[in-house]
Amino acid sequence: NAGVTQTPKFQVLKTGQSMTLQCAQDMNHEYMSWYRQDPGMGLRLIHYSVGAGITDQGEVPNGYNVSRSTTEDFPLRLLSAAPSQTSVYFCASSYRGEKLFFGSGTQLSVL
Amino acid sequence: GQNIDQPTEMTATEGAIVQINCTYQTSGFNGLFWYQQHAGEAPTFLSYNVLDGLEEKGRFSSFLSRSKGYSYLLLKELQMKDSASYLCAVRAESFQKLVFGTGTRLLVSP
């Protein structure tokens, strides 16, 4: 039982590049979400999903896309990376909106 | 709008008791969570309050007053490993959306 698996752990991009952050959970959780964490800002919700085929925007969705084709996977796509997207990204899942289980995080730098 | 306030930093001594406060102003309320986050790691769940009162779990307790928009996390018998950030999060109008405070960094010294 691995919990929430998030890859990669570190990534450096150039401005304008695109990439996908992977997130998978093996707890059969319906709810999955992506957060970014910046110094002095706390965790901010980017996108979330309440089940396969259903996604919705959070507080800071611009520049990011998500999809939920299966219960297990919830990838986050950066369409055209910008320096403002330099951050630590966390994927999380929960059972019906109860406590969140977080992945180990991705430290992303956009140059 | 959503607003959650916590002190930025606190210091305490090993073996002591520390109280970390959290005040919130949100549109709707469906529960308050506390998470612990060690430097460079992911947050982990500590406690959940949805009704007024105190929830105790070992050395950690969490209190909620919905009428005052106030919660605190009480850590007893502090240990060095308790040095971490403590995040207050409110489930506001949406069951799935959590609004996080900026976190309180706690430093425990010998």
Contacts of A2 in chain B (CB under 8 A): none
Question: What gap in Å lies between CA A33 and CA A50, rounded to an integer?
Answer: 9
What percent of chain A has pLDDT above 70? 100
Tell me what pLDDT residue B104 has.
98
Compare CB distances from A97 to B41, B89, B96 and report the shortest one's residue. Answer: B96
B105 sits in which H/E element: strand B104-109
Give first-to-last CA distance, chain A, whole Å: 36
Average pLDDT, chain A: 95
Residue of A41, A93, A102, A104 to mutate, testing the B interface (most B Cβ within 10 Å of its Cβ)? A102
How many Å apart are CA A58 and CA B102, to the nearest integer?
A: 17
Record: contact A97-B35, CB cut-off 8 A: no
Measured between beta carbons, the chain B residues lying within 8 angstroms of A98 are 48
Q: What is the pLDDT of residues B37-79, one digit of tens each?
A: 999 999 999 999 999 999 999 999 999 999 999 999 999 999 9
Cβ(B72)–Cβ(B86) under 8 Å?
A: no
Which residues have CB under 8 Å from A62's CB, separation 6+?
A: none
% of chain B with per-residue pLDDT over 70: 98
Phi-psi region of B81 (alpha: psi -120 to 50; beta: other; left: phi over 0): alpha
B32 within 8 A of B50, measured Cβ to Cβ: yes
Query: Quick check: A4 pLDDT over 90?
Result: yes
More confident residue, A71 or A96: A71
**pLDDT-derived band of residue A103, with 50, 70 and 90 as boundaries?**
very high
Any idea which residue has 């002095």 for tokens?
Answer: A40
> How many C-alpha atoms does A52 have within 13 Å on its Cβ side?
8
- Give the model's pLDDT for residue B26: 87
Reading the block at residue B89, the tokens are 């999060």
Q: Which residues of B touch A (CB under 8 A)?
A: 4, 33, 35, 41-45, 48, 87, 89, 91, 95-103
